[in-house]
Amino acid sequence: MLRLLGRNTSGNVQKVIFLLEELGVPYTREDYGRQFNNTQDAAYLKLNPNGKVPTLVDGDVVIWESNTILRYLASKHNKTALYPADLAKRTEVERWMDWLLASLNYHYVQVFKDSKKPENERAATFAADAKELAAQLAILEGAMAGKAWVAGSDFTLADIALGPIVHRCLDFPVTLPALPHLKTWRAKLTERPAFKKAAGL
């Protein structure tokens, strides 16, 4: 059985839970990271030298980096609806998965950490990070005009990768534009039992 190592409050772990639940694949999840203070243990570092979560153990195969885990699972289970075989369609899915890491993630992490603190304890860069987060979300908002899902008409790994992260972003105590397309998309995500399980709804 698959072993997923990572605390269920991590957005990156939630992505993997989301996909595993969509696939209906049996797995166990073990608490690692942050409050459990165990990702620097020698046994964990042997599996994942980055000392971060998530890590997926599939027999002798060990995978880290959340988006890589998503690609692995979709490919292993031949879910071409989620991870298209068609090159153009797959590229669209990949683009948004990469955009999440390259453009949105840094500002998401900074705002996520500081938004839980009193205003006088927030980093000096909080306002700038919040502004950039809003700008990045506006890019996704514009791209989703006329689309049912992030990469087009079909639900894909792009939705699974972005879902838990953007879901959180929309609730941050910062000024955001209206984002009606993202809010409609989130509402559809929250109707999916797999997303509810992943996000703890």
Q: What share of the chain has pLDDT > 90, as a percent? A: 91
pLDDT band of 38, cuts 50, 70, 90:
confident
Amino acid at site 92: E
Mean pLDDT value across residues 106-133: 92
CATH topology of domain 2-76: Glutaredoxin (3.40.30)
Q: Where are the domains of the chain?
A: 2-76, 87-199
Q: Which residue has the tokens 């929250």?
A: 190
User: E-strand spans in 35-191?
Assistant: 55-58, 61-64
Please list, residue by residue across 154-166, b when 16 or more beta carbons sit within 10 angstroms of its beta carbon and e when fewer do: bbbbbbbbbbbbb
Tens of pLDDT, residue by residue over 142-155, are: 999 999 999 999 99
CATH topology of domain 87-199: Glutathione S-transferase Yfyf (Class Pi); Chain A, domain 2 (1.20.1050)
164: closest CA among 108, 119, 121, 113? Answer: 108
Q: pTM for the whole thing? A: 0.96
Reduced to 3 states (helix: H, G, I; strand: E, B; else coil), residue 30 is strand
Tens of pLDDT, residue by residue over 161-188, are: 999 999 999 999 999 999 999 999 999 9
Pairwise CA distance, residues 159 & 86, whole Å:
18
Two tokens, residue 144: 């989703």
Q: Is the Cα torsion angle 63, 168, 40, 50 positive or negative in sign?
A: positive
pLDDT at residue 87 greater than cutoff 90:
yes
pLDDT at residue 35 greater than cutoff 80:
no
